[in-house]
Amino acid sequence: MHAQHMPGRLRLLATVILLTLALLVAVPIAVFAKSANGSEGFYRQTNLVSDLPDIARVQDKNLVNSWGLVHGPATPWWVADNGTGVSTLYDGNGTPFPVGSPLVVTIPAPAGVTTAAPTGVVFNSTNGFVVSKGRNSGPARFIFSTEDGTIAGWSPVVDPTHAVLAVDRSAVGAGAVYKGLAINSNEDGTFIYATNFRFGKIEMFNSKFHLVRSFTDHQLPKGYAPFGI
């Protein structure tokens, strides 16, 4: 048997194709190599704040298992601190806000629970989602979900250092477990959406914190449940 020989033009075409493929492979490798040694790259990580010492520019012992993160048009960043049951505020440099006297907002826990476990947090710019405490009422500017099956709202005119319990589904069935929270508006109003990990559903609440409906993603594989949203 004899090996078949490729005509000259086909050999040239094959060489060009192989060279092109080699360049396509080589370019990403070169880019990643430069990024790995730190001489060039797409971004540089700067640790702004941590609960642990000597890791970031700022140490804040409240920032344990930081979860949700959000800000309004003219507000600092608000973080849901899952491990300490509070929300802490930071400016763009990671400095606790306000500077010199940082605000720490306590998230309420349901009955029988010592410390809440906040997860999601959203900013609310509407006049809905009103919370009340004593004689004070006002729209919750920041709303939190928790793994304890609760949703709480914070209003500066109601209680500047504590959120107020607005939804408590900790005793419904085996108890809700909210892992994430989102807010959205349509022609029917503004709603918040909480991922109930334990029940495998997303729960929809209107601007009065009333449960409107719940729904599931039928494309999720068996054994999976909604988490972030």
Contacts with 150 (C-beta within 8 Å, 6 or more apart), sequence order: 108, 109, 110, 116, 165, 167, 168, 169, 170, 178
Judge if 55 and 22 occupy the same domain: no
Judge if 108 and 12 occupy the same domain: no
Judge if 60 and 163 occupy the same domain: yes
Domain extent at residue 96: 49-215
How many other CB atoms sit within 10 Å of the CB of residue 141?
A: 20
Judge if 129 and 69 occupy the same domain: yes
Tokens of 89: 């505020």
Judge if 105 and 207 occupy the same domain: yes
* Assigned domain for 177 exists: yes
Q: pLDDT tens, position by position, for the chain (229 residues)?
A: 444 444 444 444 443 333 333 333 444 444 444 555 555 668 889 999 999 999 999 999 999 999 999 999 999 999 999 999 999 999 999 999 999 999 999 999 999 999 999 999 999 999 999 999 999 999 999 999 999 999 999 999 999 999 999 999 999 999 999 999 999 999 999 999 999 999 999 999 999 999 999 999 888 888 889 898 9
* Assigned domain for 129 exists: yes
